[in-house]
Amino acid sequence: MTRKELAERLKHASAAVIAAEAELTEIDSKFGDADHGLTMTKIAKAISAAAEAADGGIQSMLDDAAMAVMSLNGGSAVPLWNTWLDGMQEEAPEGEEIDVAGIKAIFAKAFEEIDDMSGAKVGDKTMMDALIPASEAIAAYEGDSEDELFAAAAKAAAEGAENSKNFVSKFGRAKSYGAQTIGTPDAGATSMAYFFRGLAQA
């Protein structure tokens, strides 16, 4: 996969998140600050702009995306997404091409970095409910098709976000609502699932 092709996937991923802004706001308004849709739209636009403007290699593009997100004012999502993207660029090739093994490496490093920072596990009702299954799907993929790899990740992320409905919030403002949060998906998991859905679009 070329840097240009990865940039297109990042732009599709960003567009999917931006299109879901109203849904994310509605979810977050129930037990959060009702700002997740706006925050994620800022993050998605920063990622998309970095992908659009990229003229170097893959590592440079991902570094630009991470830096663009880091400069934003926003909720807890900003440092988490910055950490995730920064982890990707650490393992990314400097050149303009990446193979499936390389994709698996950048997502493994990205997960390692955000896992260290977040500490949340599946069942804690956070973005990790989507990101952990997606990361595991990428790690488990044994083929040589980036289309199949991202499709598997998107499916796992969507299922994880849907499954977050069954959990009690253990982080953030929603934590104080306890069992009332059962039945509502986590906004962070939902936005992450939309991002992976977009990544699966070539």
The dihedral through the CA atoms of 193, 110, 200, 133 has a sign that is negative
Q: How many whole angstroms separate alpha carbon 102 and alpha carbon 116? A: 21
- What pLDDT shows up at residue 32? 87
pLDDT of residue 182: 95
DSSP for 22-67 reads: HHHHHHHHHHS-S-HHHHHHHHHHHHHHHHHH--S-HHHHHHHHHH
The DSSP code for 2 is B
Q: What pLDDT is stored for residue 171 in this prediction?
A: 83
Cross-strand partners of 188: none
Q: In degrees rounded to 5, what are phi and psi of residue 78?
A: -60, -55
Q: Cα dihedral sign for 163, 112, 17, 124?
A: positive
pTM of the model: 0.97
pLDDT, residue 176, reads: 85
Residue 137: Cβ within 10 Å count: 22
Closest to 82 (Cα-Cα) out of 104, 101, 63:
63
Q: Going residue by residue through the chain (202 aa), what tens digit of pLDDT does each one get?
A: 999 999 999 999 999 999 999 999 999 999 988 999 999 999 999 999 999 999 999 999 999 999 999 999 878 899 999 999 999 999 999 999 999 999 999 999 999 999 999 999 999 999 999 999 999 999 999 999 999 999 999 999 999 999 999 999 988 778 888 899 999 999 999 999 999 999 999 8
Strand ranges (E), the chain: none
